[in-house]
Structure 1
Amino acid sequence: MVGTPPVMGKPYRPKDHYFQKAKQEGLRARSAFKLDEILKRFPIAKKGGAVLDLGAAPGGFLQILADSVGTSGRVIGVDIVAIRPFTQKHVSTAVLDVLADDFDAKLLAMYDGPFDAVISDMAPKTSGIKATDEARSLRLAGKALEVAVARSRPGSSFVAKLFMGGDFEEFRAQVRSHYEEVKVVRPEATRGASMEVYLVGLRLKAAAPASATP
């Protein structure tokens, strides 16, 4: 009896080169190579730094970040689904919804210090409607930017995944208003049919001092 013929028409090969490489290197997701490339290009995660990973499941980014900051650093990973625990004590994870009203308070309870980098790999469940998916992607990226500006120290970095199109340029302008330099990166590990890119904000500007009340 012959085997079942392969299903045709998939937009990508699920077990491609990066999938196999991730498996060989003990990484939880092929997407880890996307962050690895970004970190090699930009000084985002340094030894002893504190990094927040939004949309962290299943933990591929966290593995890269844990090694990058070392045991003297701190890595916080959150997602709406559970993340398999890490053995490293400097890595903490939690099930949190970034769009929930109590998210900021719960994140503060996990770690109350300033971050050196906020990284978002969050992506919405795609509906197949381009404009809707772009809008949802930007909403998540917008929340990530809000958290980064509120919780990071001056000079810190920001990375967010989002879909090209829609109000992308408007969002890039928002990031530019907070960071001294902004780059658009499409890592090599990005699948061919994907419209996703990563927006990288470098060197968070110091907040302007509040004006004195007359």
Structure 2
Amino acid sequence: MGKPYRPKDHYFKKAKQEGLRARSAFKVDEILKRYPFLKKGATVLDLGAAPGGFLQILADAVGPNGRVIGVDIVAIRPFSQPFVKTAVLDVLADDFDAKLSELYDGPYDAVISDMAPKTSGIRTTDEARSLRLARKALELAVTRGRPGSAFVAKLFMGGEFEEFRDEVRAGFEEVKLVRPEATRGASMEVYVVGLRRKAPSAPAPVAP
């Protein structure tokens, strides 16, 4: 049995005390402390960013010379820092990639996803929905991340978990699994961390 859900737990109270928008901020903070892949001036994409707890930590990590793009299917309360941009976007919509490019069309130093599906209570269904979101995040990390960039995605442990980890390994030099201390006891979630995106393979030369 996991620990019971306690909405006023230690991390909830700590987030309130520190002016953080969500207790989940401590999850990405722990990941960045363990694997400090973000430098000042970096550009990062935060998927599933509402209410903005991750964004607060990421903004501190990259500083005013960096750039943070946060998107979610619900509105995110605006940030005072001009280098933090947010938008209401559905990552599974057909026009998502085009709309994301309107926000920022350059490469990212990190793509971070805290996306989670609306849970149905049916474990296999929830795992499949979680995997679909994680794969979309991975697609963005591979297509929009610069060589050497990082990838972080929340995923519900399930039947195709190992397959997804292998997909991340194909694109990144090192893959870590993190279950941050702020994760609720009964939760099945884990964060897959891809470090140092591999440079795309050069196309084979065409024979004359």
Match runs of 1:105-184 below 5 Å = 105-184=98-177
Cα distance between partner residues in 2 of 1:80 and 1:102: 13
**Count of residue pairs the alignment pairs up:** 205
Letter in 2 for 1:185: V
Equivalence for 2:43: 50
Cα distance between partner residues in 2 of 1:187 and 1:164: 14
The correspondence for 1:188, drawn from 164, 181, 200, is: 181
> CA offset at residue 11 of structure 1?
3.3
Match runs of 1:20-59 below 5 Å = 20-59=13-52
Cα distance between partner residues in 2 of 1:124 and 1:166: 17
Cα distance between partner residues in 2 of 1:39 and 1:183: 12
Q: Are residue 90 (structure 1) and residue 70 (structure 2) matched?
A: no
The structure having more radius of gyration, on CA atoms, is 1
Residues 130-155 of structure 1, C-alpha deviation per residue, up to 9 Å, x if partnerless? 00000000000000000010001000
Matched residues, percent identical?
80
Equivalence for 1:99: 92
> CA offset at residue 213 of structure 1?
4.6
Q: Are residue 71 (structure 1) and residue 64 (structure 2) matched?
A: yes
Unaligned runs of 5+ in 1: 1-9
**Alignment TM-score, normalising by the size of structure 1:** 0.94
Cα distance between partner residues in 2 of 1:31 and 1:118: 17
What secondary structure, in the 3-state scheme, does the structure 1 residue paired with 2:56 have? helix
What secondary structure, in the 3-state scheme, does the structure 2 residue paired with 1:181 have? strand
**Root-mean-square deviation (CA), in Å?**
1.0
Equivalence for 1:7: none
Equivalence for 2:53: 60
Structure 1 consecutive aligned stretches of length 4 or more whose deviation exceeds 6 Å: none
Letter in 1 for 2:95: D
Residues 5-61 of structure 1, C-alpha deviation per residue, up to 9 Å, x if partnerless? xxxxx9310010000000000000000000000000002221000000000000000
Letter in 2 for 1:147: L
> CA offset at residue 162 of structure 1?
0.4
> CA offset at residue 169 of structure 1?
0.2
The correspondence for 1:16, drawn from 5, 9, 20, is: 9
Cα distance between partner residues in 2 of 1:117 and 1:185: 17
Cα distance between partner residues in 1 of 2:4 and 2:206: 58
Which is further off, 202-211 or 54-63?
202-211
Letter in 2 for 1:72: N
